[in-house]
Homo-oligomer: A and B are copies of this chain.
Amino acid sequence: MPQNPQLNKNGELQHLLSIEGLSKDILRHILDTAESFTGVSEREVKKVPLLRGKTVCNIFFENSTRTRTTFEIAAKRLSADVVSLNVNSSSQSKGETILDTVDNLTAMHADMFVVRHSQSGAAHFIARHVAPHIHVINAGDGRHAHPTQGLLDVFTIRRYKPDMHNLRIAIVGDLLHSRVARSEIHALTTLGVPEVRVIAPKTLLPECVDRMGVQVYHDMREGLKGVDVVMMLRLQNERMSGALLSSAQEYFKCYGLTQEKLALAKPDAIVMHPGPMNRGVEIDSAVADGTQSVILPQVTYGIAVRMAVMSILAGNTE
Protein backbone atom coordinates (compact mmCIF):
# COMPACT_ATOMS: atom_id res chain seq x y z
CA MET A 1 0.00 0.00 0.00
CA PRO A 2 1.56 3.34 -1.00
CA GLN A 3 2.21 5.70 1.87
CA ASN A 4 0.07 8.83 2.09
CA PRO A 5 2.27 11.41 0.36
CA GLN A 6 1.28 14.08 2.86
CA LEU A 7 2.55 12.25 5.93
CA ASN A 8 6.06 11.56 7.15
CA LYS A 9 7.19 8.23 8.56
CA ASN A 10 5.80 9.11 11.96
CA GLY A 11 2.36 9.70 10.45
CA GLU A 12 2.67 13.47 10.94
CA LEU A 13 1.69 16.08 8.36
CA GLN A 14 4.71 16.71 6.15
CA HIS A 15 2.98 18.47 3.24
CA LEU A 16 -0.49 19.88 2.70
CA LEU A 17 -1.54 18.74 -0.74
CA SER A 18 -5.23 17.96 -0.45
CA ILE A 19 -7.87 17.49 2.22
CA GLU A 20 -8.43 13.95 1.06
CA GLY A 21 -6.17 11.68 3.07
CA LEU A 22 -6.23 13.81 6.22
CA SER A 23 -7.48 11.80 9.19
CA LYS A 24 -10.06 13.16 11.60
CA ASP A 25 -7.27 13.68 14.15
CA ILE A 26 -5.08 15.68 11.78
CA LEU A 27 -8.05 17.76 10.59
CA ARG A 28 -8.94 18.55 14.19
CA HIS A 29 -5.33 19.35 15.06
CA ILE A 30 -5.16 21.90 12.23
CA LEU A 31 -8.49 23.47 13.23
CA ASP A 32 -7.54 23.61 16.93
CA THR A 33 -4.17 25.18 16.10
CA ALA A 34 -5.85 27.73 13.84
CA GLU A 35 -8.11 28.57 16.78
CA SER A 36 -5.06 29.65 18.76
CA PHE A 37 -3.81 31.79 15.86
CA THR A 38 -7.01 33.80 15.47
CA GLY A 39 -5.82 35.82 18.44
CA VAL A 40 -2.46 36.76 16.92
CA SER A 41 -4.01 38.87 14.17
CA GLU A 42 -6.04 40.81 16.73
CA ARG A 43 -3.06 41.80 18.83
CA GLU A 44 -1.37 45.18 18.82
CA VAL A 45 1.78 43.49 17.48
CA LYS A 46 0.57 40.89 15.00
CA LYS A 47 3.67 38.73 15.00
CA VAL A 48 4.93 35.53 16.58
CA PRO A 49 8.49 34.24 16.14
CA LEU A 50 7.61 30.63 15.20
CA LEU A 51 9.15 30.71 11.71
CA ARG A 52 11.89 33.24 12.39
CA GLY A 53 14.91 32.57 10.19
CA LYS A 54 12.94 30.21 7.95
CA THR A 55 12.64 30.89 4.23
CA VAL A 56 9.19 30.45 2.70
CA CYS A 57 9.10 30.47 -1.12
CA ASN A 58 5.86 31.29 -2.88
CA ILE A 59 6.29 29.70 -6.30
CA PHE A 60 3.44 30.85 -8.48
CA PHE A 61 3.47 29.27 -11.93
CA GLU A 62 0.08 30.97 -12.37
CA ASN A 63 -0.57 34.50 -11.19
CA SER A 64 -2.90 35.02 -8.21
CA THR A 65 -2.33 38.20 -6.22
CA ARG A 66 -5.13 37.35 -3.83
CA THR A 67 -3.84 33.91 -2.85
CA ARG A 68 -0.20 35.01 -2.75
CA THR A 69 -1.16 37.85 -0.40
CA THR A 70 -2.85 35.53 2.11
CA PHE A 71 0.18 33.24 2.30
CA GLU A 72 2.58 36.18 2.39
CA ILE A 73 0.71 37.80 5.30
CA ALA A 74 0.47 34.48 7.18
CA ALA A 75 4.19 33.77 6.74
CA LYS A 76 5.24 37.28 7.75
CA ARG A 77 3.09 37.12 10.91
CA LEU A 78 5.05 33.96 11.74
CA SER A 79 8.26 36.04 11.22
CA ALA A 80 9.45 34.00 8.21
CA ASP A 81 11.50 35.47 5.38
CA VAL A 82 9.25 35.34 2.33
CA VAL A 83 10.45 35.18 -1.26
CA SER A 84 7.84 35.31 -4.01
CA LEU A 85 8.53 34.03 -7.51
CA ASN A 86 6.32 34.34 -10.54
CA VAL A 87 7.81 31.62 -12.68
CA ASN A 88 5.76 31.93 -15.85
CA SER A 89 8.09 34.34 -17.54
CA SER A 90 11.59 33.90 -16.22
CA SER A 91 13.31 30.54 -15.74
CA GLN A 92 10.57 28.56 -17.39
CA SER A 93 11.22 30.37 -20.62
CA LYS A 94 14.90 29.53 -20.26
CA GLY A 95 13.91 25.88 -20.44
CA GLU A 96 14.44 25.13 -16.76
CA THR A 97 12.14 22.41 -15.53
CA ILE A 98 9.91 22.77 -12.47
CA LEU A 99 12.09 20.34 -10.58
CA ASP A 100 15.26 22.24 -11.40
CA THR A 101 13.61 25.39 -10.00
CA VAL A 102 12.64 23.53 -6.84
CA ASP A 103 16.08 21.92 -6.52
CA ASN A 104 17.74 25.30 -6.83
CA LEU A 105 15.59 26.87 -4.14
CA THR A 106 16.16 23.83 -1.92
CA ALA A 107 19.90 24.25 -2.43
CA MET A 108 19.44 27.83 -1.18
CA HIS A 109 17.99 26.27 2.00
CA ALA A 110 14.37 27.16 1.43
CA ASP A 111 12.22 25.49 4.08
CA MET A 112 8.75 25.60 2.62
CA PHE A 113 7.21 25.89 -0.84
CA VAL A 114 3.78 27.38 -1.41
CA VAL A 115 2.96 26.22 -4.92
CA ARG A 116 0.32 27.34 -7.35
CA HIS A 117 0.19 25.76 -10.79
CA SER A 118 -2.40 25.40 -13.50
CA GLN A 119 -1.81 21.67 -13.82
CA SER A 120 -3.44 19.16 -11.49
CA GLY A 121 -0.92 17.28 -9.42
CA ALA A 122 1.91 19.82 -9.67
CA ALA A 123 2.20 20.18 -5.89
CA HIS A 124 2.10 16.38 -5.42
CA PHE A 125 4.80 16.05 -8.06
CA ILE A 126 7.03 18.52 -6.20
CA ALA A 127 6.30 16.95 -2.81
CA ARG A 128 7.31 13.51 -4.08
CA HIS A 129 10.60 14.96 -5.25
CA VAL A 130 11.84 17.16 -2.39
CA ALA A 131 14.15 16.22 0.49
CA PRO A 132 12.52 15.10 3.75
CA HIS A 133 13.09 18.40 5.58
CA ILE A 134 11.15 20.43 2.97
CA HIS A 135 7.44 21.15 3.21
CA VAL A 136 5.07 21.76 0.30
CA ILE A 137 1.71 23.51 0.51
CA ASN A 138 -0.66 23.29 -2.43
CA ALA A 139 -2.06 26.78 -3.07
CA GLY A 140 -4.18 25.67 -5.99
CA ASP A 141 -3.57 23.35 -8.87
CA GLY A 142 -5.50 22.37 -11.95
CA ARG A 143 -9.19 22.74 -11.32
CA HIS A 144 -8.18 24.65 -8.19
CA ALA A 145 -7.71 22.01 -5.57
CA HIS A 146 -6.97 24.33 -2.77
CA PRO A 147 -6.79 22.59 0.60
CA THR A 148 -6.29 25.72 2.73
CA GLN A 149 -9.51 27.09 1.20
CA GLY A 150 -11.32 23.90 2.17
CA LEU A 151 -9.86 24.02 5.68
CA LEU A 152 -10.83 27.63 6.28
CA ASP A 153 -14.38 26.83 5.16
CA VAL A 154 -14.59 23.94 7.62
CA PHE A 155 -13.01 26.13 10.31
CA THR A 156 -15.60 28.84 9.69
CA ILE A 157 -18.48 26.37 9.91
CA ARG A 158 -17.14 24.92 13.16
CA ARG A 159 -16.70 28.41 14.62
CA TYR A 160 -20.31 29.42 13.92
CA LYS A 161 -21.92 25.99 14.28
CA PRO A 162 -19.77 24.06 16.77
CA ASP A 163 -22.11 21.10 17.07
CA MET A 164 -21.19 19.57 13.72
CA HIS A 165 -23.13 16.37 14.39
CA ASN A 166 -26.38 18.27 14.00
CA LEU A 167 -25.80 20.25 10.81
CA ARG A 168 -27.52 20.41 7.47
CA ILE A 169 -25.25 22.05 4.89
CA ALA A 170 -26.09 23.05 1.32
CA ILE A 171 -23.39 23.58 -1.30
CA VAL A 172 -24.72 25.54 -4.26
CA GLY A 173 -23.35 26.00 -7.73
CA ASP A 174 -20.68 24.73 -10.05
CA LEU A 175 -19.73 21.42 -8.42
CA LEU A 176 -18.35 20.13 -11.70
CA HIS A 177 -15.39 22.51 -11.83
CA SER A 178 -14.84 22.91 -8.10
CA ARG A 179 -12.52 20.43 -6.49
CA VAL A 180 -12.72 22.49 -3.30
CA ALA A 181 -16.35 21.48 -2.94
CA ARG A 182 -15.61 17.81 -3.27
CA SER A 183 -12.78 18.06 -0.73
CA GLU A 184 -15.03 19.83 1.68
CA ILE A 185 -17.78 17.27 1.43
CA HIS A 186 -15.14 14.73 2.43
CA ALA A 187 -13.90 16.85 5.36
CA LEU A 188 -17.39 17.65 6.62
CA THR A 189 -18.39 14.00 6.53
CA THR A 190 -15.18 13.04 8.33
CA LEU A 191 -15.95 15.56 11.07
CA GLY A 192 -19.41 14.10 11.55
CA VAL A 193 -21.76 16.36 9.59
CA PRO A 194 -24.79 14.13 8.94
CA GLU A 195 -26.38 15.87 5.95
CA VAL A 196 -24.71 17.58 3.00
CA ARG A 197 -26.83 18.68 0.07
CA VAL A 198 -25.61 19.82 -3.31
CA ILE A 199 -27.74 22.19 -5.36
CA ALA A 200 -26.86 22.61 -9.03
CA PRO A 201 -28.12 22.21 -12.57
CA LYS A 202 -27.36 18.80 -14.05
CA THR A 203 -24.77 20.31 -16.37
CA LEU A 204 -22.67 21.52 -13.42
CA LEU A 205 -22.68 18.25 -11.44
CA PRO A 206 -19.87 15.71 -11.68
CA GLU A 207 -20.77 12.20 -12.79
CA CYS A 208 -19.56 10.71 -9.54
CA VAL A 209 -22.01 12.77 -7.46
CA ASP A 210 -23.99 9.65 -6.57
CA ARG A 211 -21.03 8.17 -4.77
CA MET A 212 -20.29 11.28 -2.70
CA GLY A 213 -22.82 10.57 0.03
CA VAL A 214 -24.77 13.75 -0.62
CA GLN A 215 -28.34 14.58 -1.50
CA VAL A 216 -28.76 16.19 -4.89
CA TYR A 217 -31.21 19.02 -5.56
CA HIS A 218 -31.84 20.80 -8.83
CA ASP A 219 -34.45 23.11 -7.29
CA MET A 220 -32.63 25.65 -5.11
CA ARG A 221 -35.71 26.55 -3.07
CA GLU A 222 -36.25 22.91 -2.22
CA GLY A 223 -32.62 22.35 -1.35
CA LEU A 224 -32.26 25.34 0.97
CA LYS A 225 -35.17 24.36 3.21
CA GLY A 226 -34.04 24.10 6.80
CA VAL A 227 -30.27 24.21 6.24
CA ASP A 228 -27.82 25.68 8.76
CA VAL A 229 -25.11 26.61 6.27
CA VAL A 230 -25.32 27.83 2.67
CA MET A 231 -22.00 27.51 0.85
CA MET A 232 -22.10 29.32 -2.46
CA LEU A 233 -19.54 28.40 -5.11
CA ARG A 234 -17.96 30.85 -7.50
CA LEU A 235 -19.12 30.65 -11.11
CA GLN A 236 -16.07 30.94 -13.33
CA ASN A 237 -16.53 33.62 -15.96
CA GLU A 238 -15.79 31.16 -18.72
CA ARG A 239 -18.83 29.05 -17.71
CA MET A 240 -21.32 31.88 -17.85
CA SER A 241 -22.23 31.33 -21.43
CA GLY A 242 -21.91 28.44 -23.83
CA ALA A 243 -22.82 24.81 -23.65
CA LEU A 244 -23.24 24.45 -19.89
CA LEU A 245 -25.33 27.52 -19.05
CA SER A 246 -27.69 29.66 -21.06
CA SER A 247 -26.68 32.99 -19.45
CA ALA A 248 -25.54 34.65 -16.26
CA GLN A 249 -28.98 36.21 -15.84
CA GLU A 250 -30.69 32.84 -16.18
CA TYR A 251 -28.23 31.32 -13.70
CA PHE A 252 -28.91 34.04 -11.15
CA LYS A 253 -32.64 33.45 -11.47
CA CYS A 254 -32.31 29.74 -10.74
CA TYR A 255 -29.19 29.41 -8.58
CA GLY A 256 -28.30 32.92 -7.40
CA LEU A 257 -28.70 33.42 -3.65
CA THR A 258 -31.21 36.16 -2.82
CA GLN A 259 -32.75 37.24 0.49
CA GLU A 260 -35.97 35.63 -0.61
CA LYS A 261 -34.38 32.24 -1.23
CA LEU A 262 -32.21 32.49 1.87
CA ALA A 263 -35.39 32.91 3.95
CA LEU A 264 -36.09 29.23 3.28
CA ALA A 265 -33.01 28.19 5.26
CA LYS A 266 -32.97 28.25 9.07
CA PRO A 267 -33.27 31.80 10.45
CA ASP A 268 -29.72 31.63 11.85
CA ALA A 269 -28.20 30.02 8.78
CA ILE A 270 -24.82 31.37 7.70
CA VAL A 271 -23.86 32.26 4.11
CA MET A 272 -20.37 31.48 2.78
CA HIS A 273 -18.51 32.20 -0.45
CA PRO A 274 -14.82 31.54 -1.27
CA GLY A 275 -14.44 34.84 -3.18
CA PRO A 276 -13.92 36.64 -5.40
CA MET A 277 -17.67 37.02 -5.75
CA ASN A 278 -19.62 37.63 -8.92
CA ARG A 279 -22.24 39.86 -7.38
CA GLY A 280 -25.51 39.49 -9.22
CA VAL A 281 -24.50 36.17 -10.74
CA GLU A 282 -24.22 33.57 -8.00
CA ILE A 283 -25.03 35.89 -5.09
CA ASP A 284 -27.03 39.06 -4.58
CA SER A 285 -25.19 41.97 -2.95
CA ALA A 286 -27.88 42.26 -0.24
CA VAL A 287 -27.04 38.72 0.88
CA ALA A 288 -23.28 39.03 0.42
CA ASP A 289 -23.22 42.10 2.67
CA GLY A 290 -26.11 40.99 4.88
CA THR A 291 -26.22 39.95 8.52
CA GLN A 292 -26.08 36.22 7.79
CA SER A 293 -22.99 36.51 5.60
CA VAL A 294 -19.73 35.20 7.07
CA ILE A 295 -17.80 35.79 3.86
CA LEU A 296 -15.33 38.25 5.37
CA PRO A 297 -14.80 36.16 8.54
CA GLN A 298 -13.82 33.37 6.14
CA VAL A 299 -10.99 35.59 4.89
CA THR A 300 -9.92 36.38 8.43
CA TYR A 301 -9.90 32.72 9.41
CA GLY A 302 -7.97 31.98 6.21
CA ILE A 303 -4.94 33.75 7.70
CA ALA A 304 -5.23 31.79 10.97
CA VAL A 305 -5.61 28.49 9.10
CA ARG A 306 -2.58 29.20 6.90
CA MET A 307 -0.51 30.19 9.94
CA ALA A 308 -1.62 26.94 11.59
CA VAL A 309 -0.69 24.80 8.58
CA MET A 310 2.71 26.49 8.20
CA SER A 311 3.60 26.17 11.86
CA ILE A 312 2.44 22.54 12.07
CA LEU A 313 4.45 21.59 8.98
CA ALA A 314 7.54 23.43 10.23
CA GLY A 315 7.31 21.49 13.49
CA ASN A 316 6.97 18.11 11.79
CA THR A 317 10.46 17.76 10.42
CA GLU A 318 11.94 14.30 10.64
State the CA gap A302–B107 with chains docked (Å): 9
Contact of A81 among B70, B76, B105, B299 (CB under 8 A): B76
Interface hit among A48-56, A177-185, A206-214: A48-56
- Interface status of A43 (Cβ within 8 A of chain B): yes
- Find out whether the CB atom of B46 lies under 8 angstroms from the CB atom of A63: no
Shortest CB–CB separation between residue A88 and chain B, in angstroms? 10
**B300 x A108 contact (CB < 8 A):** yes
A292 at the binding interface (Cβ < 8 Å): no
Given contacts A90-B63, A95-B278, A299-B107, contact A46 B53 (CB under 8 A): yes
Which residues of the other chain, B, contact A44 by a CB distance below 8 angstroms?
A: 53
Is A103 at the interface (CB under 8 A from chain B)? yes
Q: Are A45 and B55 in contact (CB under 8 A)?
A: no
Q: How far is the CA of A103 from the CA of B299 in the complex (A)?
A: 9
Whether A277 contacts B45 by the Cβ 8 Å rule is no
Is B73 in contact with A81, judged by CB distance below 8 angstroms? yes
Q: Is A216 an interface residue (CB 8 A)?
A: no
Per the 8 Å Cβ criterion, residues 102-158 of A in contact with B are 103-109
Select one of B45, B53, B237 contacting A53, CB under 8 A. Answer: B45
Q: Is the CB of A91 within 8 A of B65?
A: yes
Distance to closest chain B CB from A224 (angstroms): 24
Q: From residue 8 to 47 of chain A, which have CB atoms closer than 8 A to chain B?
A: 41-47
Contact between A100 and B275 (Cβ–Cβ < 8 Å)?
yes
Q: What distance in Å separates the Cβ of A131 from its nearest Cβ neighbour in chain B? A: 11
Partner of A86, one of B65, B66, B83: B65
A77 CB within 8 Å of chain B: yes
In the complex, A297 has a CB within 8 A of chain B: yes
Query: Is A254 part of the binding interface, using a Cβ–Cβ cutoff of 8 Å?
Result: no
| Nearest CB of chain B from residue A204's CB, rounded to whole Å | 19
- Contact of A47 (CB < 8 Å), options: B52, B70, B77: B52
Q: Is residue A318 contacting chain B, with contact meaning CB distance below 8 A?
A: no
What is the minimal beta-carbon distance from A158 to any residue of chain B, in angstroms? 18
| Bound Cα distance A103, B294 (Å) | 12
A64 at the interface (CB under 8 A from B): yes
Is the CB–CB distance between A85 and B107 below 8 Å?
no
CB pairs A–B below 8 angstroms (8 shown): A41-B108, A46-B53, A65-B87, A69-B85, A76-B81, A104-B296, A104-B299, A108-B300
> 20 other contacts beyond A69-B105, A76-B81, with CB at 8 A cut-off?
A41-B109, A44-B53, A46-B54, A55-B76, A63-B89, A63-B90, A65-B87, A66-B90, A66-B104, A69-B85, A70-B108, A72-B83, A73-B83, A73-B108, A76-B83, A96-B275, A96-B276, A107-B296, A107-B300, A108-B302
